A and B are shown apart, each in its own frame.
Chain A
Amino acid sequence: MIEKNKFKIFDAHMHTIGIFLPRNMSLIEYMDQFNIEKAILTTTNRAARPSDYVDKGEKEEEYGDTNNKMLKAFENYKKTMPKGQLDHQDVINLSKKHPDRFYKFFWFNPNMSQDQENDDYRTLENHFDNGFYGVKLHPILHLIKVPRDVLKLASLLEERNKILFLHSYPKVTFFNGMFTKDIVKLAKSFPDLKIIVGHAGYAMEYAMELGMNLKRYENIYFETSCSIPYALFSLIKAVGHERILFGSDSPITNPAQIEIDKILCLPISKEQKQDIFYYNSEKIIQK
């Protein structure tokens, strides 16, 4: 039995399913275990399976050919990118059942053909009309450059007062990372767009840069899932605790408890912890 955390929690990053959700448990029951009262909820990319990337059966002599390996890695990676938009019926169903607990976000793929563009944006607008609060972007999964490939989307979100959640990631073999300077450009171009930078403390150097480059942009918020505690502490020192939002990325990549513990262990006051766990997210949703 998990000992209940005493802080009330608004989780700024949850998915509908994941390997850390026990089979016989609903998402609401899962949240109740951890005192998670509310959550920003999005769907799950069911096509992503890490085992697809494994080097299967290449001959020894192929080790030397790095370019060949890169091509194969990229080919395998492309399999995990669903064409078009993900279905969000799971998000809609859960939110309908528990309207006071979930804030729906649409996981959007802006990397579409011109023919598809109107349809995809219409789909997105329909979801906004049906109560979606924002968009989650996964730049590496959809191979999009920020801000270049998201200008139309950012403009729409700003106009409709919706939130943009940006997933952070490092530079990998076949795709450059999203740098803090890229987020600066986006924040400058769209000063009224509320942007949440996800996994904001995933590496020490990234968190330090975020703090340094983005502290002056008050439309930027920082979400804590998959982060290093010391990196979060560094961000808090740089931008203040009011712009830090607790997120777990559960039940996909983490059990929620681990992400909660990362905030609990920080050398900050109880009041600051409560703000990070709940009130900061509540404020940005209500703005």
Chain B
Amino acid sequence: MRKILEKLDRVDRRVIYLLMALSVFVPLSLRLSYPIPVGEGPSRDLFDAIEAMPSGSVVLVSYDYDPSTMPELQPMAVALTQHMFTRGHRIIAMALWPQGASLSQEAMTAVGDSLGKAQYDDWVNLGYTVGAGVSIVRMGSSIRAVFPQDRDGFPYDSIPLLTRVQSLRDIDLVISLSAGDPGIHAWVMMAGDRFGLPVGGGCTAVSAPEFYTYLGTGQMLGLLGGLKGAADYETMVREGRENAPAGLATPGMAAQSIAHLVIMAFIIIGNISYLVIHKRRKGAPK
């Protein structure tokens, strides 16, 4: 037994990688699905905040990620856009990451077209800006100074949706979908603290714990953390809509469940072998 545990303790990392791959691949292939109950928490807080806003509110969504984190963040973007459009809100999309501009266009066009929303009246994509936090500060005095035209080269002043939007003070809510920096930190510090804007966000599961400080102080309205946050939001958006199609995140939750169990199994095996070997070494003659 001890020998087996010693072997397990020195197991080749490629074996771990293989088991990990299977734990994701098998549930996805078998189309396993679990119900996703959404309790109280930051996901519901964000949903409720958007629900409570009067129809026609202007929401600025910043796509602060790139294709690598797309599997976690794009489902959030789609679900949020669906929710905001069905509530009658208008969306200004932008990006602090260069490739975010293309990802925002993809989400806005797909959801906007399916719900009959018109570009420039109901939504606009301003594209990418360099400068991160500094750009946000400048947007506090003039958004036009940072984005003289939208992503397609249409002048700012000729876009009907932007007629009354001169600075960040004219925005009703900011949502940053963030895979790193610049992202939520910059929006909370510059737009939230400096210009008093309500800020919500979505982030990768890895980064979620650090934003709980902002939730506790009220500097953020709500937060979608990783695939779980996206799946929660999809569930809430679909509540009461029987025939609504399943979102992009919900099918992944079964795979994530199994993957978490596998990681926990690794940790348990690692600890058993550690305790047995450690005990033996302690008892060994010096």
Q: Do A and B bind each other?
A: no
